[in-house]
Amino acid sequence: MTLLLIATLLASGLGSLSSSVSRQFHVVKEQKSWTEAQQYCREEFTDLATIDNMTEMEKVKSMIHEAGAGDAWIGLKRGEWQWSLAGRDFYRENEAEFRNWDSGYPRGGQENCLMNANGKWSDDWSTNIWTFICYDGGNSTHPYVLVTEGKNWEDAQIYCREKHTDLASVRNQAENDQIKDIIGGTAWIGLFRDAWSEWSDGSSSSFRHWNTGESNNPGVGCTQFTPSGQWNDVGCHNPSHFICYGDPKEVKSQIVRVKLQVASHVNINDPAMQQAFLQQIQQRLRESGMPAGAKLTWMRHPDGQIFKEKKETKEEGRKRRKRTEL
């Protein structure tokens, strides 16, 4: 004896299969901060736009004109401040994030850090010549070494790495006080950031298209594409239009009605059995071309049941018997 069951399946998944070689850009005319825009692009497409060359520049520029959009975020962001001495074990919780900036600092454009006579920090151009302080991990009693011969920041870093461990990190107020007393003036410490090093999608593209005089405005860290095609650096919290790239991640779903025939001793209310049915159906559909990302779920009737038993009509019974006889 067999039961004839009717059930409804919901098949859903990401409908887009990326096939295009060149990047698809999308101008979004909503006002969002850079971080909100990034979140939106990651949810709806791939990410905020990365721009690699003049072909892409022209494409985005004409899209902005067509959309009648204004300034728009792209994915380029200023790097975060970090220590030259990068070993994780060296820092306890929050110690890598300790900062002692003087008021008004850091500004923008200057990407390397000085400690001044009052123990407060300021940023400066890496090419300027200052004394500097190294850290020597091999000397437990006197780990800080002041070098009074002036060097630019990069050369100071090379010197400290060759002769000692690295340029000094400052992990807390106690160390700040200690180093301040040794320096007694102004010196490079190990804090720096890479200017405009970070694309939202992790791309290493070095393509830039700054407007004259841009890229070094004080205190700002995000990039806007302007209708003229030039880029400006702007505060990341300012709301603005933005440009995403990638194929739309449209979730498509489809309702499928299935008829199952099972032996009458099978307990169709057993969740393990229901799951097993689902997997079998899934496998069949995959074999006949359902995308790998698609997911199947049973839909429940208002009474919580998945399956409804269906009485076989005489006609259906005759057909079934005929099929099994054949």
Ligand X SMILES: *[C@@H]1O[C@H](CO)[C@@H](O)[C@H](O)[C@H]1NC(C)=O
Chain contacts with ligand X (rule: CB under 6 A): 22-23, 52-53, 55-56, 138-139, 141-142
Q: Which is nearer to ligand X, 203 or 216 (CB)?
A: 203
Provide the token pair at 14: 């990401």
Shortest Cβ 278–ligand X spacing (Å): 41
Q: Which is nearer to ligand X, 74 or 236 (CB)?
A: 74
Cis peptide preceding 106, ω within 30 of 0: yes
Are the C-beta atoms of residues 108 and 124 closer than 8 Å to each other? no
Q: Which is nearer to ligand X, 112 or 223 (CB)?
A: 223
Would you put residue 109 in left (φ > 0), alpha (ψ -120 to 50) or beta?
Answer: left
Q: Which is nearer to ligand X, 98 or 144 (CB)?
A: 144
Shortest Cβ 53–ligand X spacing (Å): 4
Q: Which is nearer to ligand X, 23 or 120 (CB)?
A: 23
Provide the token pair at 76: 């380029």
Q: Which is nearer to ligand X, 7 or 49 (CB)?
A: 49
Shortest Cβ 267–ligand X spacing (Å): 56
Shortest Cβ 141–ligand X spacing (Å): 6
Shortest Cβ 205–ligand X spacing (Å): 7
Q: DSSP letters along 255-322, please?
A: EEEEEEEEETTS-TT-HHHHHHHHHHHHHHHHHTT--TT-EEEEPPPTTS-S-EEEPPPHHHHHHHHH
Shortest Cβ 245–ligand X spacing (Å): 9
Shortest Cβ 45–ligand X spacing (Å): 15
**92, exposed or middle or buried, with CB in 10 Å at 0-12, 13-18, 19+?**
exposed
With b meaning 16 or more CB within 10 Å and e meaning fewer, what string describes 240-272? Answer: bbbbbbbbeeeeeeeeeeeebeeeeeeebeeee
CB neighbourhood size of 14 (10 A):
17
Q: Which is nearer to ligand X, 141 or 206 (CB)?
A: 141
